[in-house]
Amino acid sequence: MKDDIKELNTIIGKGSIINGKVSIQNSIRIEGRVIGEVSSTGTVTIGSKGEVEGDIIAVNAIVGGKVKGSMKATEKIILEANSIFVGDIQTAKLTIDEGAMFEGKCCMTEEEESREKVKTEVKLVDEKKSLQNPENKYPVRSDNGPEK
């Protein structure tokens, strides 16, 4: 997971508010607020002041702030001390630090099974964005490929 964080290429800073779907190649750190779905081919990190109101789909997720929505991670989810998570979790590995609040259901799956589900969901999000962007105004990247 540490190597994946090296590929961090998107930061939503403190005071920023994003409404809508966010799809990221590699990893993202959220210090502001996102209202909508967040999907990543890497790690989604929500900082201590960060908030997400919507579903999260990623390889790994680290929650230090607040999340309200479902979260699916192929490898691991970490709920840090003082984090608040309200929603359902699906992952292969889960760590809940002392002081974290978790309200919802958790489904532990095999890492390979979970990985295939998340890859499919991230791909579907990318395909849907391509359909919504027929004039290619905003380039959408495919998995490890150049901009389309």
Write a three-state SS string for 4-53.
HHCCEEEEECCCCEEECCEEECCEEEECCEEECCEEECCEEEECCCCEEE
Whether pTM exceeds 0.75:
no
Would you say 140 and 133 are in contact if contact means Cβ atoms under 8 Å apart?
A: yes
* Mean pLDDT of the residues in the chain: 83
The band of 9, judged by pLDDT with boundaries at 50, 70 and 90, is confident
Alpha-carbon distance of 100 to 66, in angstroms, equals 10
The string of pLDDT tens digits covering residues 75-122 is 999 999 999 999 999 999 999 999 999 999 999 977 666 566 666 666
